[in-house]
């Protein structure tokens, strides 16, 4: 049987075979439903409201929905199978929106000295008494000009004879670390571009950089479309285990996203993709593996082993990436299964490994990576903190996209909200939750153990919706911030220092950029210190990727950082549970004490 499904308020109609999930039907109708869990009925995020038609109630519906909601026709769209012609409303908060994405990071000054360079050559035409092959001719000239030998890429070699003769033996050779990757007639040295990428679990950002100047000429970003298979790396790794095509599905998705970004950026910059001669990428170790088509399966379970940690250099074209066909992609090295090349990028950008002072860098994306140290020694750890701060597992949580509550103030008992894009809120994102909890702590609506004074706290309410913070939300945030806090405690202990010895805290990543520092301090996400010593450094992982694109020295440094950083595996430590338990509580502040004293 084929059923007609009509989606509201869009009015779109699709015909699907019986048994098709409503989520899938929506996708076919061109509406993407946000399914953090990959459509496995385990996150409760893909709610739709059935106006008429199929309304079978699944076990997952029972788990996530109240009796009232069930009566109103709410169902999880990933579980609801079409068994009749239906009309279904897809609420705004269920839809996948393009997210507020952090593209710029804190730029460091660095010498522009990329692996890729263009050299203009005026060759001597061969003759009966000057017998050199075309490649020899080029080779000798390059050696003379640069003092370095050149080796050949076959695709470039194939074009050599016609190009040199079409341009009176005046050509521009593009070399990547001694490899001849391109030849063009005449002098084209001014057109030399590369692209740097940050492949996040949730977001992919890429920029075209002029390799002559190191300046960005275009930037573009997209949701990492792998999210349709699940929001966090564990869901995606599981897909590679449970679906024999899972790895290639995920691999192809991220390549598609990269190609879309390339196309968009090239269009913005008005340059041909063929003039992009080099590419770098950073990402967590799972993203790294998925980008390269390497099975990430053994990252997920003890003893947590990545397949490869070293810097990987490969033809971008071999992965299906549409830039110059001979361009090399360099993926920066990983440190361990959970501390990836994105962390290496953060350290590179923040120069943590060069400082005299001990600094702490925290990169909260979908996971939370923490790095502590200076030029003598750096420790790094990863904590599974991310999802809650990205709105996952939060009752009305959502990503930091249009409609998300991103800031909360309680002034004189009244709630004031900041909403991304303005207007009526659809849910609450990470920085909003942290703000809300911080404010609720100040107002003593929560005690230091996280217990709420009221069953739930309403942030916004109108005829249609009631956005609340629940006791369970508080617990989720406590677990997440507890993990990071405990990680920091362990790293401090390992390094043998106290908070006073940390000269600065650097907050990297989107969350680190948008979060209010006061709130982060208030809930104990970061160690207690003066606000002036806490600094947001933007998308530092991306900046690290860009530095590697523009500088051979940065690549060498990245390799050194990856080799020298000591990874501390938290799950393997007997003291982690204790630290974690301690860190679950919210800090007692002076005002609390004062209040206590007053109430005593």
Chain residues binding its own copies by CB under 8 A are 126-136, 152, 154, 157-158, 160-162, 165, 292-295, 297-298, 302-310, 312, 314, 318, 334, 336, 567, 569, 572
Given the complex with its own copies, which of 104 and 298 has the nearer CB atom?
Answer: 298
DSSP state of 158: H
**Whole-angstrom distance, CA of residue 78 vs CA of residue 24:** 8
- 546, with CB counted inside 10 A (0-12, 13-18, 19+), is buried
Given the complex with its own copies, which of 443 and 575 has the nearer CB atom?
Answer: 575
Q: How many CB atoms lie within 10 A of CB 134?
A: 18
Q: How far is the CB of 121 from its own copies (least distance, A)?
A: 16
Q: How far is the CB of 568 from its own copies (least distance, A)?
A: 11
Given the complex with its own copies, which of 337 and 419 has the nearer CB atom?
Answer: 337
Q: How far is the CB of 315 from its own copies (least distance, A)?
A: 9
Given the complex with its own copies, which of 158 and 416 has the nearer CB atom?
Answer: 158
Q: How far is the CB of 437 from its own copies (least distance, A)?
A: 34
Q: How far is the CB of 302 from its own copies (least distance, A)?
A: 6
Q: How many CB atoms lie within 10 A of CB 275?
A: 20
Q: How far is the CB of 166 from its own copies (least distance, A)?
A: 12
Q: How far is the CB of 505 from its own copies (least distance, A)?
A: 27
Given the complex with its own copies, which of 297 and 499 has the nearer CB atom?
Answer: 297
DSSP state of 96: -
**Whole-angstrom distance, CA of residue 98 vs CA of residue 462:** 25
Q: How far is the CB of 488 from its own copies (least distance, A)?
A: 21
**Whole-angstrom distance, CA of residue 460 vs CA of residue 538:** 30
Rounded to 5 degrees, φ, ψ at 139 are -55, -45
177, 234 Cβ separation under 8 angstroms: no
Given the complex with its own copies, which of 101 and 138 has the nearer CB atom?
Answer: 138
Given the complex with its own copies, which of 158 and 498 has the nearer CB atom?
Answer: 158
Given the complex with its own copies, which of 369 and 406 has the nearer CB atom?
Answer: 369
Contact partners, residue 48, CB within 8 Å, separation at least 6: 22, 26, 33, 74, 75, 77, 80, 88, 89, 90, 91, 94
**Whole-angstrom distance, CA of residue 584 vs CA of residue 587:** 9
Given the complex with its own copies, which of 364 and 561 has the nearer CB atom?
Answer: 561
Q: How far is the CB of 53 from its own copies (least distance, A)?
A: 44
Structure tokens at 294: 């390497």
Contact partners, residue 18, CB within 8 Å, separation at least 6: 1, 2, 3, 81, 82, 83
* Best CA proximity match to 428, nearest among 407, 443, 449: 407
Cα angle: 468, vertex 26, 320; to 5 degrees: 105
């Amino acid at each position: 049987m084929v059923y007609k499904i009509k989606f509201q308020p869009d009015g779109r109609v699709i015909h699907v075979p019986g048994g098709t999930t409503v989520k899938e039907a929506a996708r076919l109708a061109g509406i993407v439903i946000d399914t953090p869990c990959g459509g496995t009925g385990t996150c409760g995020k893909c709610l739709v409201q059935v106006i008429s038609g199929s309304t079978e109630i699944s076990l997952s519906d029972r788990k996530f929905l109240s009796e009232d909601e069930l009566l109103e026709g709410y169902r999880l769209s990933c579980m609801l199978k079409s068994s009749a012609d239906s009309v279904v409303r897809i609420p705004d908060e269920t839809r996948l929106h393009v997210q507020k994405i952090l593209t710029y990071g804190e730029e460091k000054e660095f010498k522009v000295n990329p692996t890729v360079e263009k050299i203009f050559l005026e060759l001597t035409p061969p003759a009966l008494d000057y017998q050199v092959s075309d490649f020899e001719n080029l080779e000798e000239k390059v050696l003379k000009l640069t003092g370095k030998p050149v080796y050949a890429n076959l695709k470039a070699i194939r074009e050599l004879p016609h190009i040199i003769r079409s341009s009176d033996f005046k050509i521009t050779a593009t070399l990547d670390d001694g490899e001849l990757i391109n030849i063009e007639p005449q002098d084209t040295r001014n057109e030399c571009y590369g692209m740097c990428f940050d492949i996040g679990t949730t977001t992919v950002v890429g920029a075209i950089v002029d390799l002559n100047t190191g300046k960005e000429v275009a930037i573009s970003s997209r949701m990492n479309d792998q999210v349709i298979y699940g929001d966090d790396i564990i869901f995606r790794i599981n897909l590679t285990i449970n679906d024999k095509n899972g790895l290639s599905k995920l691999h192809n998705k991220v390549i598609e996203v990269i190609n879309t970004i390339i196309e968009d950026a090239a269009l913005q910059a008005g340059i041909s993709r063929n003039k992009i001669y080099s590419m770098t990428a950073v990402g967590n170790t799972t993203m790294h593996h998925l980008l390269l088509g390497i099975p990430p399966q053994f990252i997920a379970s003890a003893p947590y082993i990545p397949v490869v940690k070293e810097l990987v250099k490969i033809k971008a074209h071999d992965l299906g990436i549409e830039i110059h066909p001979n361009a090399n992609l360099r993926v920066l090295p990983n440190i361990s299964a959970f501390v990836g090349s994105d962390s290496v990028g953060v350290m590179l950008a923040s120069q943590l490994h060069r400082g005299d002072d001990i600094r702490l860098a925290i990169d909260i994306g979908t996971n939370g990576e923490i790095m502590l140290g200076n030029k003598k020694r750096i420790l790094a750890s990863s904590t599974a903190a991310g999802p809650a701060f990205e709105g996952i597992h939060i009752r009305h949580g959502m990503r930091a996209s249009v409609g998300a509550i991103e800031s909360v103030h309680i002034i004189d008992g009244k709630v004031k909200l900041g909403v991304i894009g303005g207007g009526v809120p659809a849910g609450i994102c990470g920085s909003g939750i942290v703000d809300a909890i911080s404010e609720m702590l100040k107002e003593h609506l929560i005690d230091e153990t996280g217990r709420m004074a009221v069953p739930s706290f309403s942030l916004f309410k109108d005829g249609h919706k009631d956005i609340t913070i629940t006791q369970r939300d508080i617990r989720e945030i406590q677990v997440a911030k507890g993990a990071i806090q405990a990680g920091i405690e362990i790293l401090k202990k390992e390094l043998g220092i106290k908070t006073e010895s940390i000269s600065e805290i650097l907050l990297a990543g989107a969350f680190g950029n948008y979060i209010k520092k006061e709130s982060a301090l208030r809930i104990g996400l970061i160690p207690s210190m003066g606000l002036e010593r806490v600094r947001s450094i933007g998308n530092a992982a991306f900046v690290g990727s860009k530095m590697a694109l523009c500088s051979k020295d940065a690549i060498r440094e990245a390799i050194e950082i990856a080799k020298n950083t000591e990874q501390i595996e938290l799950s393997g430590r007997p003291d982690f549970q204790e630290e974690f338990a301690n860190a679950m509580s919210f800090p007692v502040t002076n005002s609390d004490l004062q209040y206590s004293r007053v109430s005593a």
